[in-house]
Amino acid sequence: MRLQVAKWGNSLAVRLPVECVRASGLHEGGIVEAEVGAAGEIKLTPALTFDKAAFLEQLVKLHAEIPMTETTVERMREQERY
């Protein structure tokens, strides 16, 4: 896909077609990471944001899968000597 580079203030800009925006999950105000390769190619990647709700959901699932075993603290208490 060929895109036109335009002047925007003192910078240059590329307007992204709606198909690209929808496919990448971008939205107005979203953040992208830009990388320039050795051959001058430019790669834009949507920046990952921390989703606290999704993280907590994953944590609950992982916790449910972990078998309850003797904890390290309990083992340390058993070995205490006064």
- The whole-angstrom separation of Cα 13 and Cα 46 is 17
For 3-12, the pLDDT digits (tens) are 999 999 999 9
pLDDT (0 to 100) of residue 51: 81
Give the residues across from 34 on adjacent strands: 44
Q: How many CA atoms lie within 13 A of 60 on its CB side?
A: 6
pLDDT (0 to 100) of residue 74: 80
Q: What is the mean pLDDT of each run of 10 residues along the chain (82 residues)?
A: 94 94 89 94 88 89 79 77 66
pLDDT (0 to 100) of residue 82: 61
Structural domains in the chain, CATH included, are 5-78 (2.10.260.10)
pLDDT (0 to 100) of residue 37: 95
CB 25 within 8 A of CB 46: yes
CB 30 within 8 A of CB 22: no
In the chain, % helix, strand, coil (3-state, to 5) comes to: 35, 20, 45
